[in-house]
Each structure stands twice: as C-alpha cells, then as structure tokens.
Structure 1
C-alpha cells in the first residue's frame, strides 16, 4: 500500500488557505518552486487539477473545493501533533521537577540523578535515558508510558491590560489585541482554540514580543504588554494572586497530558521504578494537575529525567 503524500496535501492546504503560491511558500519557509512541484505532484496522483491558474488569479477547481477541508484538517492536526510532541518546556523541569529531587535523594543515599532539561524533543532510547517526562499527545507505543494528569493551557493577561484594552469574547477578537508568542512551536503564527461546542477557531497572533522559552513571557504578561497562551503549571501562583486573569474561559487550546515514559523491556532496574513511582505520585498530586480545575489548557517541549544510578552508571 502506498502512503498518502502528506507533504503535498499540507502544501495544498496552505495554498488553499492563503490563495497564493507565493504566500504559501513564505508561510511554510520553502521556495515557490517547491510549493508548485508539491501541488503538481498531488494533481498527478489524484488525476485532477486542484486550481484554476491565470496570471492574475488563483481559484480552486471543483476537485480542489472538495479536498480543501480535509487537507486543512490534516495540516492542522499535523501541526498540533508536532507541537505537542515537543513535550514539556524546560520551565516545567526547573519549577516542578528539580524541587522534588532533594527529598528523593535524601531517602535513597548512594544514588545519583543526571537531570537533563531541554526545549527540544530527544530520542529517549538512543540517548540512553531511563526516564522522561513529556507533555504531549503521544503516538509512540514502543515506550512504556504512564499518563499522570491533564495539562491545561489558558489564554491569560494582566487585569490592567484587560481593563485598558477590553476583554475578548471570541478568539477572532484577538486580532485587535497584542499577543505574546512562543517561538518554539512549529507554527508560532497560528493559535488554535476549541469552543464549548467543539467549534475550532484559528487565529494569527501579533504582538511586541516572541520568545523561545515560556518563562521569558511572564514578566511581559505581568507588566500588561499583552496576552499569551501559557500552561497552568506556570500560571498557578499568578492566577491565585490576581496578577493574571484567564481570558476566553469557554475556549482553550487542544488538551494534552503529562506522561512519564521509560524504555521498553523488562525487568526495569529498581532505581528506575523507585524514581518513576516517586515522580508519578508527586506530580499527579500537584494543585495544577487536579481534574476539578476549569478547562484552560501548555506549551510543548521536554524534560528528561534519567534515573539515579550509582556513580559510574550511565543514566
């Protein structure tokens, strides 16, 4: 069975969205020739033209109109999956994992932990790591995975900003607001929200600041420079203290979850089991992880927590 040409379908979706081969190429970061070849490849594969092309106008054919919505969903789901697969930000490891380790080490003298924090997805098995914590919608079934809790994300802003600029009631209202962006997403120029009835809204945020670490956005948020999508595990204190306020409470980015992952195979070393169980208990009980929190869904990326080993062990 021949797999679908997913890249070509994604390129087609972008051209259909923008109405321009050139704009699609700029949005995707590729050459116009690459876009043209991808669409031509797809047309040859399905045996039908997708666009009417003239020197002045680009319009979808009947076949293109029939394929547009499915291709758009494919592109959106691919972007979301890629974003989510980057797991949990370095911020999560610094704020919520590192503080748990002193008590564990005190209870297990003689063990060592080699903690690696990263804003990029890595190969757990190939890197020789015993444990990883990832915030994602996972598809890799070769790893042993334990789901710990849902990770909610919220659109938030400072009360002073919202009092001055107004409180949006629909994601499309964000076109009139300053939005602070997280540059590590594969599609930082698109924010996706799900409404209370399952309706999806995609917006193009614009604002004065973009950062490649979610922690870097916090001072600008508190100072009232704009709005940002942040995970609840970063917002908890600011929300409780009233420094930040949830915006669009009926809308949220697609939900993701915190997972504890270990390489496949048995038996698992006792030290790995001990650390995995300890982290699972502690993180599942965190206040931001409780199910009664109102829906408000984080940013992706990865915290890798190699298991403690005796000095000289590879962890």
Structure 2
C-alpha cells in the first residue's frame, strides 16, 4: 500500500492559504519549483487538477475545493502534533485565531480578553468578529464561539451556557399598534428580523403549546445591534438575545412582550477543529473562555467595571 504524500498535501494547503505558489514557497522555506513539482505530483496521483492557473490568477478547481479542507486539516494536525511535543513553557507562545459573533464578541468577549493576554504575554490573539457563520477549518481558526443549535458535524463542540432571547418592542410602537398577547397575533404587526437566523420564529407557551410565526416587516439586518435603533424608533417588534437588549430594557426604551411565550434558550458553544491534538496556547484560551463564559453576563459585568 502506497503511503500518502504528506509533504505534497501540506504544500497544497499552504498554496491554498497564501493563494500563490510564490507566497507559499516563501512561507514554507522552499523554492517555487519545489512547490510546483509537489502540486503536480499530487495532481498526478489523484488523477485530477487542483488549480486553474493563469498568468494573473490561481483558483481552486471544483475537485480541489473539498480537498483543500482535508489538506488544511492534515497540515493543522501535523503542526499540532509537533507543537504538543515541545516543552510546556515554550508552547504558551504564538498566535491563536479566535472567531466570535459580532455583538456577543464586543459585549462579552472583548472585555475579558485583555485579562487573558496579561496572564499569557507570549500568546497573540487574532480576534475575528462577524455574525456570518465562519468555516473554522477552511478559514484557519483555532477556536470559534457560536450561538446556535448546532447541526451534526465533525467539529468538536462544548456547550458553555444558555442564551435567552426576548420578544421586544418600543412603548411607542405598542401604544400605536397594540400589544399582542399571543404569537399568532404577530401576523398583524411589523416584525424586524435578524437575517442570519433562517426560518420562522418559534414559541413555546402555556400547556406545552408550540407556535411558529413567519417574518414580515420593513427591515431585516445581519447584525442584532443594527436592529435596535429601528425598534427604539417604533418601527416594529423583534426577537433579540438579552446581551444586546438588557440595557435598553433597563432604560425603558424597549419592553418585553409575550412573556408567557418565551423562545427556547439557545446554546453558546465553543467550537474547535476535529483533531484532539491542540497546541498548549490554544488549550489555554479554551480553558479561559470556558471558565469565564459559563455566566453569559460575566463579560458585560467586567465591561461595566472597566468603564
């Protein structure tokens, strides 16, 4: 049985990462010719092209796209295996790539991240904030925080805590349009939507009743924070997590409705690539986040202390 050409797979992953044969060659300390020969060798073994090559552009073929994820995983696991063998003290150095949802990252993660960096001066954190769902393997993230019910996948997931959402509106909107007392009445109202959550709003109510409501309204946005000004202006009803709206509820700018029909709590999960082998710097950040985010209000409390 022929062994896999692991060097060629690693070089392929580097070319995908750097989007250039020359840049990949510089990154791994090889000549461009060696990199090119490795890709040619791998393509010959697989019997298919991995890249479309022109003088100006390098792009993955349809066959190459799914293989790029496998190559990235092979390279990441090899790097993790080597780093796990290093002395524990020297392993707490280097960069960790962390992804988090935009609003939750700003309100709950950013305030506590400084504490981690002070405690680990040799670790650098590349903190990526986006409400889009990132592909942590293909995009090279070590850790991702995600607020969602997770589909089955090969990723390693740890549930940290529950996040509660609330159905809210401005008093001015309710004074003008009335306050719904049952989710079925939401069809008569303007609903402001969060576009990264696909599907109807689902409610669980008294006696175990379940109701679904389809979204209709003037505004949808891919950021929960972007919805709040429209709500305060009296443009509709929305369903948002407490870490976004708590301060607006406290000020009276927004009020909770349908309190007997609360949406199901959604989990805050910590995701990592499939491999159980992780550098010590990544383990350190995972342990820190797991400890500090078991209370979803911990980061906000810390933020208040720093203000």
Question: TM-score range with shorter-chain normalisation?
Answer: 0.5 to 0.7
Superposed displacement of residue 88, structure 1:
6.7
Task: Indicate whether 1:274 and 2:276 are aligned.
Answer: no
Instruction: Select the residue among 172, 175, 187 that pairs with 1:160.
Output: 172
**Residues 271 and 278 from structure 1, CA distance in 2 versus in 1: closer, same or farther, beyond 3 angstroms?**
same
Q: 1:236, 1:288 within 8 Å by CA — same for their partners in 2?
A: no
> Could you say what secondary structure the match of 1:225 adopts?
coil
Instruction: Select the residue among 111, 123, 127 that pairs with 1:111.
Output: 123
1:175 is aligned to 187
Q: 2:202, 2:263 within 8 Å by CA — same for their partners in 1?
A: yes
Q: 2:159, 2:267 within 8 Å by CA — same for their partners in 1?
A: yes
Superposed displacement of residue 253, structure 1:
2.8
**Residues 138 and 204 from structure 1, CA distance in 2 versus in 1: closer, same or farther, beyond 3 angstroms?**
closer
Q: 1:232, 1:288 within 8 Å by CA — same for their partners in 2?
A: no
After the TM superposition, list the runs of 4 or more consecutive aligned residues in structure 1 that deviate by more than 4 angstroms: none
Q: How does 1:7-156 map to 2 (within 5 A)?
A: 89-140=101-152, 142-156=154-168
Q: Distance in 1 between matches of 2:277 and 2:197?
A: 36
Unaligned regions of 5+ residues in structure 2, if any? 1-98, 300-307
Task: Indicate whether 1:250 and 2:268 are aligned.
Answer: no
* Count of residue correspondences: 201
Task: Indicate whether 1:217 and 2:233 are aligned.
Answer: no
> Could you say what secondary structure the match of 1:96 adopts?
helix
Instruction: Select the residue among 264, 275, 284 that pairs with 1:265.
Output: 275
> Could you say what secondary structure the match of 2:187 adopts?
helix
- 1:216-254 CA distance string (max 9 Å, x none): 111111222211011111111112222211110111333
1:72 is aligned to none
- 1:87-129 CA distance string (max 9 Å, x none): 9742222222222212211221121111112222232223221
Q: How does 1:283-298 map to 2 (within 5 A)?
A: 283-287=293-297
Considering Cα pairs closer than 8 Å and 6+ residues apart, tell me whether 1 or 2 has the greater RCO. 1
Q: 1:192, 1:203 within 8 Å by CA — same for their partners in 2?
A: yes
- 1:192-217 CA distance string (max 9 Å, x none): 22223232212233323222221111
Q: How does 1:181-220 map to 2 (within 5 A)?
A: 181-187=193-199, 190-220=200-230
Normalising by structure 2, what TM-score?
A: 0.60
Q: 1:89, 1:214 within 8 Å by CA — same for their partners in 2?
A: no
Superposed displacement of residue 141, structure 1:
5.3
Normalising by structure 1, what TM-score?
A: 0.58
Q: Distance in 2 between matches of 1:250 and 1:288?
A: 27
Q: Distance in 2 between matches of 1:257 and 1:271?
A: 25
Q: Distance in 2 between matches of 1:184 and 1:139?
A: 15
RMSD: 2.3
**Residues 101 and 116 from structure 1, CA distance in 2 versus in 1: closer, same or farther, beyond 3 angstroms?**
same
> Could you say what secondary structure the match of 1:126 adopts?
coil
> Could you say what secondary structure the match of 2:123 adopts?
coil
Q: 2:144, 2:271 within 8 Å by CA — same for their partners in 1?
A: yes
Superposed displacement of residue 161, structure 1:
2.0
- Larger CA Rg, structure 1 vs 2: 2
Q: Distance in 2 between matches of 1:288 and 1:167?
A: 33
Unaligned regions of 5+ residues in structure 1, if any? 1-86, 290-315
**Residues 249 and 159 from structure 1, CA distance in 2 versus in 1: closer, same or farther, beyond 3 angstroms?**
same
